[in-house]
Chain A
Amino acid sequence: MTDDEGVQPVAGESRVTPDQPVPPAPAAARAKPTGWAALASALHPRATRAQVLAGILCAALGFAVVVQMRQASDSSLSDLRTDELVRLLDETSTRADQLSRQASDLQAEKAQLESGSSSRQAAIDAARRNAAMQGILSGRLPAVGSGVRISLQDPNGTIRPVTMLNMLEELRNAGAEAIQLGDQRVTASSAFTGAPGAVKLDGVTLTAPYVWLVIGDPDTIQTALEIPGGALAYVRNDGGTGDVAKVQHVEIDALRTLPEPKYARLAPVPTS
């Protein structure tokens, strides 16, 4: 730091003005009591012009300092210069651009994830529906729904297996979706064997009355069974009787366990 004391007066007030009386005391005598003494004499309150003037100026300075401090502490943008404001605006808009780009990226990612999960969910739903359908058709799962209940009386034991097969064919033609005879599920691989009066379904001998539980369109099935020359006519020809009742809620709970295919393997699905 520059230390120009006694070398050259820098501040204007240290210049000795012409109207200022040069201190009469010699320099050596003046140098001794200066410092604290001069400060003390200056601090001594006197209503001189110099003191009042210094007081007023100091008051103005204190006021200005406090005002500026408050201004600096709570000023934000209003006292910035044009180029600073422009730079600030540039930075802010660049940052805003960045953030909005980031936001749109994230939104796209979110949409992608959502559509991915929804399509996965759709695939799962379809597979579940498919499995339920296959299970009902193959007799693996129980089924409920509207349908008919057919009971065949065979007082003389004369209903032939082929009559039962005919009945089954007629039901399938009429759109039956799930069929139970007695306590056995009737599926695609079911077979009627045996002799009149001792009809066997899949090797199990049935006893009269034969009760069919069928899920399907009740009206169609009933009409199909009762047409002249139809399934019920065959039953009557065999010496039995039968009646068909529409049921709103048919429960088919007989299940069939499917044997694991021994020779057939799943063919590779052609990738399209």
Chain B
Amino acid sequence: MIAILGLAIGVVVGLLVQPTVPVELQPYLPIAVVAALDALFGGLRALLDGIFNDRVFLTSFLSNVVVAAFIVFLGDQLGVGTQLSTAVVVVLGIRIFSNAASIRRHLFRA
């Protein structure tokens, strides 16, 4: 409940403040968002598995974001930033799908 509330508050704050993303962070924000989504789905799945742990959730959330951003940064430095961003998004997308499938099985038994 508090999580949903927090999500809503974050959206509202984002809409109200309308911040501009610093130029050097602009390539990393979309990847970080996708990584955080992945962590969120993972946490939801762990919750339904009954193995949710807030410490693990926090760590995975932050490390996912940082690692994803770091990979993209590394790719930019190597000159393959675009391709590596695509790769990260694909991997995270697959994980989100598999987590979503797991959640679906828990909730609908199908």
A71 to B42 CA separation, bound complex (whole angstroms): 26
Known: A2-B98, A54-B6. A68 touches B49 (CB 8 A): no
A4 to B42 CA separation, bound complex (whole angstroms): 12
Hey, which chain B residues are within 8 Å of A43, CB to CB? Answer: 1, 4
Query: Tally of A-B residue pairs with Cβ under 8 A?
Result: 192
Can you list, as one digit per residue, whether each of B7-18 has a CB less than 8 Å from chain A (1) or not (0)?
A: 111110111001
Distance from A235 Cβ to chain B, minimum over Cβ atoms (Å): 108
Distance from B30 Cβ to chain A, minimum over Cβ atoms (Å): 5
If over half of A's interface residues share one DSSP class (helix, strand or loop), that class is named, otherwise mixed; here it is helix
Known: A42-B47, A55-B6. A13 touches B1 (CB 8 A): no
Hey, which chain B residues are within 8 Å of A5, CB to CB? Answer: 98, 101-102, 105
Docked-complex contact B19 and A64, CB < 8 angstroms: no
If over half of B's interface residues share one DSSP class (helix, strand or loop), that class is named, otherwise mixed; here it is helix
Residues of chain B from 81 to 99 with CB closer than 8 A to chain A in the complex = 81-82, 94-95, 97-99
A102 to B41 CA separation, bound complex (whole angstroms): 56
B residues near A (Cβ < 8 Å) are 1-11, 13-15, 18-21, 23, 26-27, 29-30, 32-33, 36-43, 45-61, 63-64, 76, 81-82, 94-95, 97-99, 101-102, 105-107, 109
A residues near B (Cβ < 8 Å) are 1-5, 10-17, 19-20, 23, 30, 34-36, 38-39, 42-45, 47, 49-68, 70-72, 75, 78-79, 81, 83-84
